[in-house]
Structure 1
Amino acid sequence: MNVELRAARREDADALTTLFRAARREAMPYLPELHSENETRCWMERVVLASDRVTIAETSGEIVGFSAVRRDHINHLYVAPGAQGKGIGTRLLDSLKAYAGSDLSLYVFLKNSRARAFYERHGFVCVAYGDGSSNEENEPDAIYVLRDTPCE
């Protein structure tokens, strides 16, 4: 699979919204859908694309994944359900590491064991747990960092 990475543009908001919602439904069916498609699209355009460094993974002109980072914190890394397991997430993560270096951090829901395993395979370790009170889904989560310090 030939995957090209590029910077996101404002006109990508619709495709990113569709991918974001589909990937979350597939990977985390236990999460409530708190926002409509239109609300999510507005957030994607006005917050994510406006505030984060967003990188898109494309194959044959189709967006199959994206990452969003602000300074050294990964806010999003999603791969379309049909494109998972093909190295796209790794390519996106490698581009984040090249951009931000070794001080990357991220939050991940505790129930998302597939994502946790992915990040652990790529050198991230859990450093703290949260009870869900700091996210709108009220779902327990963990902070992962790209360094060698285990959870306590």
Structure 2
Amino acid sequence: MMSSCSANITCRDAVIADMTACAGILNRWIDATAWMPRVHAATDVERHYRETVFADRAIIVADREGEVVGFLAQSPEAYVTALYVDERHRRGGVGARLLREAKKRAPDELNLWTFERNADAHRFYEREGFVAVGRTDGENEEGLPDILYRWHAAGGERS
């Protein structure tokens, strides 16, 4: 599946050759985010992406002239389990376009967790129509409080 993301950027289904680039984008984000603990070594993140993420989830990449500049991982249960854009390409609509592709694949509802400390992500997801529907005190491997967001095609929260 291919569609236009923005000037010179195309959203497409990932192939295994994209795995290293996707893991690299995540690893760079972890290293650049002061409040984010590094729970797994960079090589373990790559292994996890190869053995689990790419095997079990739909991965959409934002490709700019052969370079992966962002990606989204979506579980069969309509959860976005990862959405990361390389720092050089943030704030240019790449994340929004990746989310639009995910919404096409789960047209009724999408869910995702984001860390409470990630205020930029909260603003982004809320702008994209997601509503906070739950919270934890850090019941994840990073031990950080997080927020469950949900999007419905009709907009808003449902019971």
- The structure 1 residue matched to 2:129, chosen from 123, 130, 148, is 123
Q: CA deviation at 1:38?
A: 1.1
Q: CA RMSD in A?
A: 1.3
- The structure 2 residue matched to 1:47, chosen from 32, 35, 52, is 52
AA in 1 matched with 2:129: G
Check the 8 A contact 2:30/2:38 in 1, yes or no: no
- Provide the C-alpha distance between the structure 1 equivalents of 2:70 and 2:46, rounded to a whole number of angstroms: 16
**Residue 150 (structure 2) pairs with residue 145 (structure 1):** yes
Q: CA deviation at 1:101?
A: 1.1
- Provide the C-alpha distance between the structure 2 equivalents of 1:32 and 1:24, rounded to a whole number of angstroms: 7
AA in 1 matched with 2:126: E
Counterparts of 1:1-150 in structure 2 under 5 Å? 1-26=7-32, 28-71=33-76, 72-133=78-139, 135-147=140-152, 148-149=156-157
- Provide the C-alpha distance between the structure 2 equivalents of 1:123 and 1:141, rounded to a whole number of angstroms: 18
TM-score (norm 2): 0.89
- Provide the C-alpha distance between the structure 2 equivalents of 1:127 and 1:101, rounded to a whole number of angstroms: 19
Q: CA deviation at 1:131?
A: 0.5
What 5-or-longer segments of structure 1 have no aligned partner? none
Normalized per residue, which structure has more strand? 2
- Provide the C-alpha distance between the structure 2 equivalents of 1:64 and 1:29, rounded to a whole number of angstroms: 22
Q: CA deviation at 1:11?
A: 1.7
Aligned pairs, number: 148
Check the 8 A contact 2:70/2:86 in 1, yes or no: yes
Q: Deviations over 1:42-89 (max 9, x none)?
A: 001001100000001010111100000012111011100110011100
- Provide the C-alpha distance between the structure 2 equivalents of 1:25 and 1:80, rounded to a whole number of angstroms: 12
What 5-or-longer segments of structure 2 have no aligned partner? 1-6
- Provide the C-alpha distance between the structure 2 equivalents of 1:24 and 1:90, rounded to a whole number of angstroms: 21
